[in-house]
Amino acid sequence: MLVSIDSNVLAYAEGANDALRQDIAIDVLQRLPNSETLIAAQALGELFNVLTRKTRVPAQQARQTILTLRDIYTVIPTTAESLDGATVLAAEHAFSIWDAIILVVSASAGCRILLSEDMHHGFEWRGITVINPFLPQPHPLLARALGQ
């Protein structure tokens, strides 16, 4: 089952903000098979921004983090078509354009799950479900992806 990871989950895994969420994010990322985990290029750009602006990580260190993630996981590009679809999704469902891009490219890549804390938990669209991995009870799809 293909899973896409939003920038907020990646940021927590890198130590931004919250130690409890960091532990959860790291655990989830370690338990998901790398071959079934995808990251939208948009999410990597957002992560770079969070690391350099909010957590004050030096730009070269943030760049290395992005390159490492790019080497571990498949990166899904943003295309003109996905941008068009994202504008529709943002207009119809009140997503930010940036979240909509991540959702559209993830769905287009065949992901069943998008792990995100800041999108609408349980939202289903074109075969993909947004799941907040930080909730006390894991969503059944996430439990299945983690082999529980």
CA dist 4 and 108 (Å) reads 11
Tell me, what amino acid is at 121?
A: H
What's the rounded mean pLDDT across residues 92-101? 95
**CB half-sphere exposure, 137, CA atoms < 13 A:** 3
pLDDT in tens, 35-82: 999 999 999 999 999 999 999 999 999 999 999 999 999 999 999 999
Length of the chain: 148
pLDDT in tens, 111-120: 999 999 989 9
CB within 8 A of 75, min separation 6: which ones?
38, 39, 40, 41, 44
Please state the pTM of the whole predicted model: 0.95
The predicted pLDDT at position 18 comes to 84
Instruction: Say what percent of the chain tops pLDDT 70.
Output: 99
Q: Over 80: is that where the pLDDT of 148 sits?
A: no
For all residues of the chain together, what is the average pLDDT? 96
Phi, psi of 127 (to 5 degrees): 90, 0
Where do the domains of the chain lie, and which CATH numbers do they carry? 3-145 (3.40.50.1010)
